[in-house]
A and B are shown apart, each in its own frame.
Chain A
Amino acid sequence: MSKLILTVDDSASMRMLLKASLAAQGFRVEAADDGEHGLERMHEVKPDLLITDINMPKMDGFELIEAVRQVPEFRGTPILVLSTEFSDEKKTRAREAGATGWITKPFEAAKLGAAVRRVCP
């Protein structure tokens, strides 16, 4: 069974782009449009990997990661944060929240795939 990835992004085009890129590389993809839904979907689909945007309404990516790491079941689930840039501050926040790694937007499909496979073969 191919790996299941949950993507959380408030932008529909970004969700579709992620889905198209990841699906083309053999992953199964579920999506949510903000942190709150992301957390709900985590419990529903129990993905092998979470990819989340940071800037989102309601619950942002940092809060989502923190909430996910609170759940014992998801303590070991790899999490990649997706953002257009990673300042020192942002990386520190993401790391402290519990992220496994980061990917910058825009991404090339191949590099996205490489990044994903690094944490979720």
Chain B
Amino acid sequence: MSDELDEIQGIFFEECTEGLAVAEAGLSAMAAGDVSAETIAGVFRAVHSIKGGSGAFGHAALLAFSHRFENVLDEVRAGRIVASPEVTQTMLGAFDILSDHVAAAQGGTEPPADAAMLEQLDSILESKGAVAAAPQVETAPEPAAQLDDFGFTPLAATIDDFDPFGFEPVAVVLDDLTSPEPAEPAGWTIRFGPSRGALGNGGEPMLVIRELEEMGASVTDVDLETLPGLRDLDPEDSYFVWTLRVPGTVAEQDIRDCFDFVDPASLVDIARQETVVAIVEEPAADEFDGFGLFEPLPIVSEAPSDAVLTLVPVAAEAAQVPAAAATPASAAPVLAAVPTPAPKAETRQGSVEVAQSIRVDLSKLDQLLNLVGELVIRGSILSDRLSPADQERVELPELSRLTRQIQDNVMSLRAQPIKQAFSRVPRMLRDLSAETGKKVVLETIGEMTEVDKGVIEKIGDPLTHMIRNAVDHGIESAEERLAAGKPEEGTIHLSAEQKGARIIVRVRDDGRGINRERVRAKAIERGIISADAALSDEEIDGLICAPGFSTAETISNISGRGVGMDVVRSNVEALGGRLEINSVPGEGTTFTMALPLTLAILDGMIVRLGDQRFVLPLANVVETVQPEPGQVQATSPSSEVIELRGQYLPVRRVGEMFGMRSERAPEDSLVIIVESETAGNVGLMVDTIDNRREVVIKSLEDNLHPIRGLGGATILGDGSIALILDIDALVATGGSSKYALKGMAA
């Protein structure tokens, strides 16, 4: 950096030379009578640039002098001081001294004596143009020392500065600082109501809240009182008042810093729980950060009575906050716990202590679940046997609804917080840390998310492997991290959340990311892809899950135990889930497992092939296409593509994949576009679609060898059996090179 700084400084001095030439030419022109705005602005800009850079490179004397010179130029530019011959003459003199200052700064020599000239410049400012005959020492309007140090408006002036905006000073409530600090500091209660219009001009109150949350704050209340009806709502306006609680261990100044950029018309109350005293914020000069935030619109004066804007001390309310609840996230020494964003689950956890419970053998729950599955099947059978008119009758939908409720209830009996699977991670990380010498911090989010017990049992291994992988391959050594400008400690985020019918489990590290060059080279070496394959970044990342792939240059003790990421993927897929990898070079890698909420029942699309019916998991279905003649084209005797909105997607004839011949032309068939983990979007050609059904998954593996492409079987309403397609395995089985197809389409 210091070489870089030297280089930049060199450029700065070149600019100074250019600036001085511009200033000299301009001042000479002014002396010759050219006092056009353009000429004056040119001189001003030249001096202004010298000043800006001198501050940045720490040339205090040059900064101080150019600042005072610029003040005069600014007034001349604004027309408040007339560029009389006397004033111009003084400025030419000032220019000479400025040149000397630049030379001194560049040569590292003593700055020139400039006191007399400064006094002349100041006297021009004072008298608005009358040049003082003799310098007067006491006319200096500002203490020179202040300028030397800062060269910009000190903070003491900022509150005054806001007055013309119509700002009111921020009223801040905080504890009496003279009272002795309690041993365990009470938490802070913050009320934050962004002013109207705070969302304009790029302002974003949520950033403030997020920053506070990073310190351990949690939002305890949002006051929606001023939220107008939809008709009057301006989406660019802010109507909320948030109440946040911050652990007492956080310093007040750190909290206050978060509000630096919040415009002063906003409500910002920061209070300890106990005694509160209202004061008006008047930060001292040395706290001036040199930046601030504008209020976008002068709404304050138009709506002075707006509840959000009224600065109400919240002493009474703050005092009611129980002390025990004040610190929701007390930091654990090594493993920082982040508060779970699943309040519902937290409530559940809280009530467990008082609720009566009974231990039930898991097999009994499994039986119950099977019975519910049977009930769903019988319901389908019944429905199929009824005439369409009877199917619409109230009783049947009611029966379906009740069945669904029973099913949900049984599922909830089996649901357990995913914490059980997460709980062994901290220990594992400690061991990994010790083994690798890498420092790793764990952040866990959503560990109270509830998941089927079967899922919990089965994600343990993939989770373990992903975390090992993250520590071993993702997180860099402390030295490497420091060199890359990252904190010494690596962070692994482990999170779980429910999204629709899926549980999303993420393992995110802030390490070096996947080395795509190396992955690609390795995949070619291992014959997984051809040397000329055109792969997207995502596809390359996906290669680490290809069977038999390992990028570790040396087989390490940790993740090189013969278990590759391909096992992780197949485990996840065996659960009916999907594994996604996102990696940003230098920033880290995220593994995302999307798992079904339940292992037993799935929403399926029943499709027909000849006289057979198959179930396609609805979760994989993107869209259904009735091909036009010519839309499906053969690219080789064994492969076909479908053109869809300018893109070519591979098409597989599902029937042929299971050895069934079909003479149907593509235009008499349907192509169902499915998304797959293994091959992206792929079209599956089927004869027709029957309907959509909730089906109960019956495992085939107890009775048959695993069949690639089949995920199980189910009993349909008419009592017949339909096979459930495992899309990811199916499209990967196709054999034809998807990569070659990609290359062709591109």
Report which A residues bind B (CB closer than 8 A): 1-2, 10-14, 16-17, 20, 24-26, 53, 55-57, 69, 76-80, 84-88, 91-92, 94-95, 98-108, 111, 114-115, 118-119, 121
Q: Does B99 contact A (CB under 8 A)?
A: no
Instruction: Pull 18 A–B residue pairs with CB atoms less than 8 Å apart, ordered by A.
Output: A11-B52, A16-B11, A55-B45, A69-B201, A85-B153, A86-B152, A102-B291, A102-B293, A105-B55, A107-B291, A111-B289, A115-B291, A118-B261, A118-B291, A118-B293, A119-B207, A121-B207, A121-B210
Q: A57-B45, A84-B67 are in contact. Are A13 and B485 (CB under 8 A)?
A: no
User: Which residues of B lie under 8 Å from residue A94 when comparing CB positions?
Assistant: 294
* Minimum CB–CB distance for A102 against chain B, Å: 6
* Minimum CB–CB distance for A29 against chain B, Å: 13
Interface residues of B, dominant DSSP: helix
- Which of A84, A100, A104, A108: most chain B CB closer than 10 A? A84
Say yes or no: A12 contacts B296, CB within 8 Å: no
Say yes or no: B44 contacts A84, CB within 8 Å: no
Contact with A along B43-60 (1 / 0, CB 8 A): 011001101110111100
User: Which residues of A lie under 8 Å from residue B165 when comparing CB positions?
Assistant: 91-92, 95
For the A-B complex with A12-B11, A80-B291, A84-B52 known, give 4 more contacts whose Cβ atoms are closer than 8 Å.
A14-B53, A16-B11, A106-B56, A119-B203
CA distance A55 to B160 in the complex (A): 24
- CB-contacts of B272-325 with A (<8 A): 289-296
* Minimum CB–CB distance for A52 against chain B, Å: 13
Say yes or no: A24 contacts B1, CB within 8 Å: yes
Q: Does B204 contact A (CB under 8 A)?
A: yes
Contact with A along B33-75 (1 / 0, CB 8 A): 0000000000011001101110111100001000100100000
User: Which residues of A lie under 8 Å from residue B8 when comparing CB positions?
Assistant: 13, 16-17, 20
Q: A1-B584, A55-B48, A91-B161 are in contact. Are A101 and B296 (CB under 8 A)?
A: no
Say yes or no: B56 contacts A105, CB within 8 Å: yes
User: Which residues of B lie under 8 Å from residue A107 when comparing CB positions?
Assistant: 56, 290-291
Contact-residue size bin, chain B (C-beta under 8 Å from the other chain) = 35 or more
Q: Does B12 contact A (CB under 8 A)?
A: yes
User: Which residues of A lie under 8 Å from residue B4 when comparing CB positions?
Assistant: 16, 20
Say yes or no: A78 contacts B56, CB within 8 Å: no
CA distance A103 to B207 in the complex (A): 18
User: Which residues of A lie under 8 Å from residue B744 when comparing CB positions?
Assistant: none
- CB-contacts of B247-273 with A (<8 A): 257, 260-261
Say yes or no: A98 contacts B1, CB within 8 Å: no
CA distance A88 to B52 in the complex (A): 19
Q: Which residue of B7, B53, B162, B202 is within 8 Å of A79 (Cβ)?
A: B202
CA distance A88 to B165 in the complex (A): 9
Q: A24-B485, A85-B152, A119-B207 are in contact. Are A13 and B293 (CB under 8 A)?
A: no
